[in-house]
Amino acid sequence: MSDINSDQYQIKEEPYYRSVGNEVEMYQAAYDARMPVMLKGPTGCGKSRFVEYMAYKLNKPLITVACNEDMTASDLVGRFLLDINGTKWQDGPLTVAARIGAICYLDEVVEARQDTTVVIHPLTDHRRELPLEKKGELVKAHPDFQIVISYNPGYQSLMKDLKQSTKQRFGGMDFDYPETEIETEIVQHEGGVDADTAGKLVQIAQRSRNLKGHGLDEGMSTRLLVYAAQLVSKGIDPMSACQMALVTPLTDDPDMRDTLSAAVHLFLMRVGRRERTGAQTKQRAQLMTHVVYRFERVPSQGLSTRAVNPFQSAHTDWYPSVLAVCSAASAYLGGICVRREP
């Protein structure tokens, strides 16, 4: 038995989690089999919230470790510390979790070096044990113990990836930004705004996500949308709220910031056609026509990649017709456009 106070790791209040598919049942089944689980998905899409929710639902303590490249195996497992009475062993978070039967959540695990991650191997196969070599102890995992890891597949490079022998110890669950209605509901609930405002924020984010790989490493996350909504609910005007929560954190590139600000402007102005004033219609039209369309998904809507990607095309003499096509496409799809000279 351990003398660790596991109560401190218990989640006392039910976290708000809006399920997006069958992830709750899938996780429940994986937990029942004590299968290690890997959550993959972009930043701010709900992975941590999901783990907190599941730990609450399963009534298990949750120990979260934010992994980084300086982390050593001792940071996970434990080490001897010096005090007045000599040396004293202190368990690391992984050992504590294994002893008390917690869910151990290793966040952004690819950040840790591969020689660090291998310490989880004996805990993640049939052995379910953790050798504390320096202490000369073999910890048998508590029957309730489970390991969950998360990572963002987009950021990993060849240098930073998990070994196959690590990956193949986990069941995987893909996470992504929720579909429009669900994300609107989340932003409304978490941000304390009305459905209309939440809906507009989600539309802005969706357009930014299409710019991933075209000047943005990642689109606006659900987390940032919640921030924007929280600012609006505190009385900040929506344009400034979006600038602070959605545009400034995302990129330092002035062109891209202009693009994102224009998109924010466009969607915040978006009111029903009948309610629009003449000035709004004109402003909207101006925003639309001085742009070149950079929307990767457009081909699926029937336009060729060349037509919508003029900067990657050798056919610069297409420009006037491209502009026309792009304006029409942006008007049709409400996409994000970049204002640039050919």
Q: Which stretch binds ligand ATP (CB under 6 A): 14-22, 82-90, 254-262, 301-309?
A: 14-22
Instruction: Name which of 136, 17, 39, 116 is nearest 76 in CA terms.
Output: 116
| HSE-up of residue 132 (Cα within 13 Å, Cβ side) | 24
Q: State the Cα–Cα distance between residues 320 and 310, nearest whole angstrom.
A: 10
- Should residue 152 be labelled a site residue for ligand ATP when binding is judged by CB under 6 A? yes
| Helix H or strand E encompassing 190 | helix 180-191
CA distances 265 to 7, 19, 191, 278, 305, Å, are 48, 31, 20, 16, 26
- List 208, 222, 243, 330, residue binding ligand ATP (CB under 6 A): 222
What's 210's DSSP letter? T
- Should residue 223 be labelled a site residue for ligand ATP when binding is judged by CB under 6 A? yes
- Should residue 62 be labelled a site residue for ligand ATP when binding is judged by CB under 6 A? no
Q: Taking CB positions, which residue lies at the least distance from ligand ATP?
A: 46
- List 11, 30, 48, 268, residue binding ligand ATP (CB under 6 A): 48
CA distances 195 to 56, 200, 202, 209, 226, Å, are 28, 9, 10, 21, 13
- List 11, 36, 40, 44, residue binding ligand ATP (CB under 6 A): 44
Instruction: Name which of 55, 45, 63 is nearest 14 in CA terms.
Output: 55
- Should residue 160 be labelled a site residue for ligand ATP when binding is judged by CB under 6 A? no
190's contact among Mg ion, ligand ATP, none, with CB below 5 to 8 A by partner kind, is ligand ATP
- Should residue 206 be labelled a site residue for ligand ATP when binding is judged by CB under 6 A? no
Exposed (0-12), middle (13-18) or buried (19+): which is 252, by Cβ within 10 Å? Answer: exposed
Beta-strand runs (E) in the chain: 37-40, 62-66, 78-83, 86-91, 103-107, 129-132, 137-140, 146-151, 171-174, 292-293, 337-338
- List 6, 9, 39, 48, residue binding Mg ion (CB under 5 A): 48
- List 10, 43, 74, 230, residue binding ligand ATP (CB under 6 A): 43
- Should residue 80 be labelled a site residue for ligand ATP when binding is judged by CB under 6 A? no
The residue (of 95 and 117) whose beta carbon lies closer to ligand ATP is 117
276's contact among ligand ATP, Mg ion, none, with CB below 5 to 8 A by partner kind, is none
Kindly state the smallest distance separating residue 218's Cβ from Mg ion, in Å. 14
The residue (of 43 and 74) whose beta carbon lies closer to Mg ion is 43
Q: Which stretch binds Mg ion (CB under 5 A): 45-53, 212-220, 285-293, 297-305?
A: 45-53
Length of the chain: 342
- Should residue 229 be labelled a site residue for ligand ATP when binding is judged by CB under 6 A? no
Amino acid at 341: E
Q: Which stretch binds ligand ATP (CB under 6 A): 121-129, 219-227, 255-263, 324-332?
A: 219-227
List, in sequence order, every residue forming a beta bridge with 232; answer none if it has no partner.
Answer: none
- Should residue 332 be labelled a site residue for ligand ATP when binding is judged by CB under 6 A? no
End-to-end Cα distance, the chain: 71
- List 226, 232, 245, 246, residue binding ligand ATP (CB under 6 A): 226
223's contact among Mg ion, ligand ATP, none, with CB below 5 to 8 A by partner kind, is ligand ATP
Q: State the Cα–Cα distance between residues 342 and 329, nearest whole angstrom.
A: 18
- Should residue 227 be labelled a site residue for ligand ATP when binding is judged by CB under 6 A? no
Structure-token pair, residue 88 = 């004293």
Structure-token pair, residue 259 = 């693009």
The residue (of 49 and 60) whose beta carbon lies closer to ligand ATP is 49
**Interface contacts to ligand ATP, rule CB under 6 A:** 16-18, 20, 41, 43-49, 107, 152, 178, 186, 190, 222-223, 226
**Interface contacts to Mg ion, rule CB under 5 A:** 48
